[in-house]
Amino acid sequence: MKKVPHRLYLTEDQMPKQWYNLRADMPEQPDPMLNPATLKPATEEDLYPVFCKELAHQEMDAETRYIDIPEEIQEMYKIYRPSPLIRAYNLEKALGTPAKIYYKFEGNNTSGSHKLNSAIAQAYYAKKQGLTCLTTETGAGQWGTALAEACAYFGLDLTVFMVKVSYNQKPFRKAVMQTFDANVIASPSDTTNAGRQILAADPNTGGSLGCAISEAIEKAMTTEGCRYVLGSVLNQVLLHQSIIGLESKIAMEMLDEYPDIIIGCAGGGSNLGGLIAPFMQDKLTGKADPRIVAVEPASCPSLTRGKYVYDFCDTGKVTPLARMYTLGSGFMPSPNHAGGLRYHGMSPILSKLYHDGYMEAVSVEQTKVFEAATYFAKYETILPAPESAHAIRAAIDEAIRCKETGETKTILFGLTGTGYFDMTAYQAYHDGQMNDYIPSDADLQKGFDGLPKVD
Amino acid sequence: MKKVPHRLYLTEDQMPKQWYNLRADMPEQPDPMLNPATLKPATEEDLYPVFCKELAHQEMDAETRYIDIPEEIQEMYKIYRPSPLIRAYNLEKALGTPAKIYYKFEGNNTSGSHKLNSAIAQAYYAKKQGLTCLTTETGAGQWGTALAEACAYFGLDLTVFMVKVSYNQKPFRKAVMQTFDANVIASPSDTTNAGRQILAADPNTGGSLGCAISEAIEKAMTTEGCRYVLGSVLNQVLLHQSIIGLESKIAMEMLDEYPDIIIGCAGGGSNLGGLIAPFMQDKLTGKADPRIVAVEPASCPSLTRGKYVYDFCDTGKVTPLARMYTLGSGFMPSPNHAGGLRYHGMSPILSKLYHDGYMEAVSVEQTKVFEAATYFAKYETILPAPESAHAIRAAIDEAIRCKETGETKTILFGLTGTGYFDMTAYQAYHDGQMNDYIPSDADLQKGFDGLPKVD
C-alpha cells in the first residue's frame, strides 16, 4: 500500500487525452430517442436545428469507445484541472470508521462545479461550427455559470434561463454570470411561448429545469446562428464528464486503490455518469464489481419512485422523447434547495444501467443532507453545494455501516461543487426553518398521468 | 527552461516544515511596540492578557530564523494545501505581453483566502494552552470564516466582530461563519464599551477594522479563558503566512524561475508579508534583487500617503502602540468594497522595510480594480476577491509596460482569495454604480490630528 496524500493531483502529462464513451461497452443500448412528431427514432440530422453538428454526432455515437479531446479543450481544461482526489482522513477520524473515504472534488473553479467540463466542450464545438450564440437553462446556477465562463472564453453570446426558485434563492449567481457577460432570465418568463403558457397555468410557479429547457430551446430555434446546449441528461454530456472518472481512476491506480463503492448525486446524471464511467466499464466487462450508488433527493425521486418509460426531456414537450426514469415532464418539484437536482427525468444511459441492475439508487431527505454537509464542512474545510451533499450523506451512511460491521471498505464519492451561493439554504437549516418535502403517491400520479402515450 | 504546467502543486513531501521569520534577516528591526500606559517597550508578558503565550512569544521573537510548524498544524495544512502556483498563460495571451505572469492562488478553501494559514496556527496554540474561546474582528469576512473553520476543527468557541459595512454588503458571510458555529456581531455594536462610544459619536458609521479590533479585545479581556486573535498586521501572522512565499519559492525553483517583480495587495500586510518573505530574505542578504510592490486602495492609502509614526493598532486605543505607516487610528475609511483592505495602519515589519527602501507601494482606484478583476476572471476562470484584484491590477499594469518595452520580465503576484461573497460589489461595477473615493489631504489630516504624541 502506497502512502496516500491528503490531496492527489495528476500532472498535466497524466491527464486523460480522450473521453470515454460508456455506451460502447454496454451490453444493451438505451432505447433510441424518438422524434416527437413521428414517434420514429430520431436521426443525427433531426438534432441539427437544436444542437451543433459535432455534438449531435456525439449524442448518437454509441460505438466509438474513446474520443479524442481536442487540443483547445485540453488547454482550457488545464486552467482548472486536474481536480484533486482527496482522502478524507479527517472525516474518517471524526466518524471513527474503518472505511477509507475518497472524494473527487470538482469545485475548484469559478463555476463552482464539474459543469465546466462539458460547458467548455459544448462552447468549443459551437464556435468551431461558426455559431455566434448559445442558449441554456440552469437550476442551481452552476451550469449557467460554467457556460458563461466558457462562452466568455470562446467569444459567444449566451442567454441563460434560470429556474425561478434558484434565481430568487441565489441572488448573486446572476451577478457572477453577468461578470462573464451572460444574459440571465428567470424562468418561466414572458419572453417565450413555452414560458407564457406555463405562467398562464400557474403564475406563482417556482419553475423547474424541464420548463427552463423548453424556453431555452425555443429561444435557440428562433434566433439566427444560435443553438441550445444542456448541462446534463444528454449522452454527450456524460461523455465529456467522463474526465472526472478517468482522472479518479488514474489517481486511485497510483495509490494501488480500487473503490468498493462509488457514490454520486444524481439530478440529470452528469456528475454520476462521468464519475462512474471507467468503473462501470470494469463492471460491464467483468474486470471488477464495485457497487455504484446514485443519490437523489426524496423530493424529486426519479430513479427510486419514477417509471422507466418514454417521456419528454422538457416541460414544454418540444424535445425528442427519451426512455428514462421519469416522474413525468409535468411533475413540478417542490422548492427543494438543491436546485440542480430538481429534474423530472434521468440520463437515458444511467436509466438503462439502473434498469438492468448495474447500479443502485437511494433517496435522502433535505435536512439529513444539510446535517451531512455541515458535518463534512467542519472536518474537511470545504463548504459543499447542497447537490453534492447528497453524495456526502450516502457516503457517511456507508462509512457508519462499515463502523458497525468492521469492514474496511474503500468508498469513492463525487464532491461536485461548492455551496457559496447556497447560503440561503444553509441559513434556513441553521434557523431550523428547513422542511422535508416528500411527494405523496397521489402527487406522483399527477406527473405520471401526463406521460406521453408511446407503444 | 523546464516545461511550465498551468498549475504546479507541490507534493506533501515538498511542503515546508518550518515557517520563516523575516525579522531574523532584517538589518534594522522594526521599532518595538510600546505599552500605551508607560510608553516603554512592551514585554512578552505584557501581551499575555491579550494573546496566548506561544503567540506572544512569536510576536516578540526577532531572532529565530526558522520555526518548526507543529505536526498538528502541518496535518491541517494538508487538508487544503499546498496551494497551486499558476502560470497565467491565458492572461498573458490576452494581454499580448512578453512578460511571464505567475500567481500563487490561496482561494481553494472554504474561507476563500490565505487567512486560514494563520487561523489554524492561532487556534492550535490557544487550544494547546487550554483556552476555551477566542474573539476576533473581520473586515471582508475572510478572516472570520477562516478562524471559524479553525475553531470548529479544534473545538473552541468564537465571537467575531464583523465590520458593519461588510456585514451588510456580504449577508451570506455570516451564514458561512455560523455553519462553523461562530457568533457573529456587526461592529460597532452595543455589546462593548468601545463599540458604544463609537456609535455615540457616529451612529451611522460603517465601522472599520480598527474599531472591530477594539471590541474584540475588550470582549476577550472580559471573558474567562478567552484570548484575542488577529488575522493581519502582527509579526506572528506574517510568520505563519510565510508558508505562501516558501511554497511559491520552492515551486519557482522547480521551474528554474525567479520573479523580477513580486506584487501583493496590502491591507494589514498578512498576504504581502507572507508572499514576499523568502524573496525579501534574498534581497536583504544580497542573493537577489527583485522589485517588491505593495498595492493598496486609493481610498485607504496607508503606505503611499500615511505617516511612519507610533500609533494604536485599533480605533479604541487599547492596543500597544506600534510604529508603522498609518492614516491615524481615527481615520474612518470610505465604504470601499475591498473590506479587507480598510485598515488605517500597516504591518510594522512591512512598514520598516518600506521605510528603508526595500519595497515599493502603489495605490489603485476601485473601478480600475474591478475592471482588472473582470478581465482576469474571463481569461483565468477564477473570480477574484476585490482585495486580491488590487494585485491583479498592478500585475496587469506591469505586464502592459513589458509589452511596451518588450521586456520579458517574470511577475509573481498573490491571488489571495475568491470573490464569491463580493457579488454586491461586482453588481455595482456592472451597473456603473461604483464610485472611486480618494480622501483629500484635509480628510487625511483629520486622522493625523488624532495620532498619539510619542517622543
With b for 16 or more beta-carbon neighbours within 10 A and e for fewer, the B276-304 pattern comes to bbbbbbebbeeeeebebbbbbbbbbbbbe
Query: Nearest CA to CA, how far is B454 from chain A (Å)?
Result: 44
HSE toward the beta carbon, residue A43, CA cutoff 13 A: 3
Give this complex's ipTM.
0.91
Question: What does DSSP say about strands B321-326 and B307-312: parallel, antiparallel, or unpaired?
Answer: antiparallel
Which of A105, A110, A156 would you mutate first to test chain B, the one with the most B CBs within 10 A? A110
Res A365: pLDDT:
95
Gap between the Cα atoms of A334 and B360, Å rounded: 57
Using CA atoms, how far residue A299 sits from A45, A302, A334, A411, in Å, is 37, 9, 7, 25
- Unique residue bearing C-alpha cell 489630516: B445
**Contact call for A110 and B381, based on CB within 8 A:** yes
| pLDDT tens-digit series, residues A223-265 | 999 999 999 999 999 999 999 999 999 999 999 999 999 999 9
- Unique residue bearing C-alpha cell 479531446: A69
A392 phi/psi in degrees, rounded to 5: -60, -45
| pLDDT tens-digit series, residues A156-175 | 999 999 989 888 877 788 88
Question: What does DSSP say about strands B7-8 and A133-138: parallel, antiparallel, or unpaired?
Answer: unpaired
- Is there a cis peptide before residue A335, judged by omega within 30 degrees of 0? no
Closest Cα in chain A to B429: A179
Res A435: pLDDT:
85
Gap between the Cα atoms of B153 and A380, Å rounded: 9
Question: What does DSSP say about strands A321-326 and A261-265: parallel, antiparallel, or unpaired?
Answer: unpaired
Phi-psi region of B380 (alpha: psi -120 to 50; beta: other; left: phi over 0): alpha
Res B256: pLDDT:
96
Instruction: Say what the pTM is.
Output: 0.94
Determine the straight-line distance between the first and last CA of chain B, rounded to whole angstroms.
54
Res A314: pLDDT:
84
Res A367: pLDDT:
95
Query: Nearest CA to CA, how far is B18 from chain A (Å)?
Result: 19
Return per-residue pLDDT of chain A as tens, 455 residues.
568 999 999 999 999 999 999 999 999 999 999 998 899 999 999 999 889 999 999 999 999 999 999 999 999 999 999 999 999 999 999 999 999 999 999 998 888 899 999 999 999 999 999 999 999 998 878 899 999 999 999 999 999 999 898 888 777 888 899 899 999 999 999 999 999 999 999 999 988 877 898 999 999 999 999 999 999 999 999 999 999 999 999 999 999 999 999 999 999 999 999 999 999 999 999 999 999 999 999 999 999 999 999 999 887 788 889 999 999 988 877 766 666 677 899 999 999 999 999 999 999 999 999 999 999 999 998 999 999 999 999 999 999 999 999 999 999 999 999 999 888 889 889 889 888 889 999 999 999 999 998 86
Cβ atoms of residues A408 and B136 within 8 Å: no
What does the longest C-alpha to C-alpha distance in chain B come to? 62
C-alpha cell at A372: 451531512
CB neighbour list of residue A13: distance below 8 Å, 6 or more residues apart: none
**Contact call for B153 and A7, based on CB within 8 A:** no
Gap between the Cα atoms of A341 and A455, Å rounded: 29
| Interface A:B, Cβ pairs < 8 A | 115
Interface of A with B in 226-255 (CB under 8 A): none
Q: Is A183 on the interface with B (CB under 8 A)?
A: no
Gap between the Cα atoms of B431 and B429, Å rounded: 5
DSSP codes of every residue in B93-140: HHHT-SSEEEEEE---STT-BTTHHHHHHHHHHHHHTT--EEEEEESS
Res B335: pLDDT:
67
Res A335: pLDDT:
67
Which of A3, A142, A179, A378 would you mutate first to test chain B, the one with the most B CBs within 10 A? A179
Closest Cα in chain B to A428: B175
Return per-residue pLDDT of chain B as tens, 455 residues.
568 999 999 999 999 999 999 999 999 999 999 998 899 999 999 999 889 999 999 999 999 999 999 999 999 999 999 999 999 999 999 999 999 999 999 998 888 899 999 999 999 999 999 999 999 998 878 899 999 999 999 999 999 999 898 888 777 888 899 899 999 999 999 999 999 999 999 999 988 877 898 999 999 999 999 999 999 999 999 999 999 999 999 999 999 999 999 999 999 999 999 999 999 999 999 999 999 999 999 999 999 999 999 999 888 788 889 999 999 988 877 766 666 677 899 999 999 999 999 999 999 999 999 999 999 999 998 999 999 999 999 999 999 999 999 999 999 999 999 999 888 889 889 889 888 889 999 999 999 999 998 86
Query: Nearest CA to CA, how far is B173 from chain A (Å)?
Result: 8
Q: Is B417 on the interface with A (CB under 8 A)?
A: no
Closest Cα in chain B to A145: B381
Nearest-CB residue to A153 (from B152, B378, B418): B378
Res B339: pLDDT:
63
Q: Is B149 on the interface with A (CB under 8 A)?
A: yes
**Contact call for A112 and B418, based on CB within 8 A:** no
Res B165: pLDDT:
84
Res A336: pLDDT:
63
Sheet holding B183-187, edge to edge: B183-187, B157-163, B133-138, B226-228
The angle subtended at Cα A321 by Cα A318 and Cα A325, nearest 5°, is: 120
Res B330: pLDDT:
86
Residues constituting chain B? 455
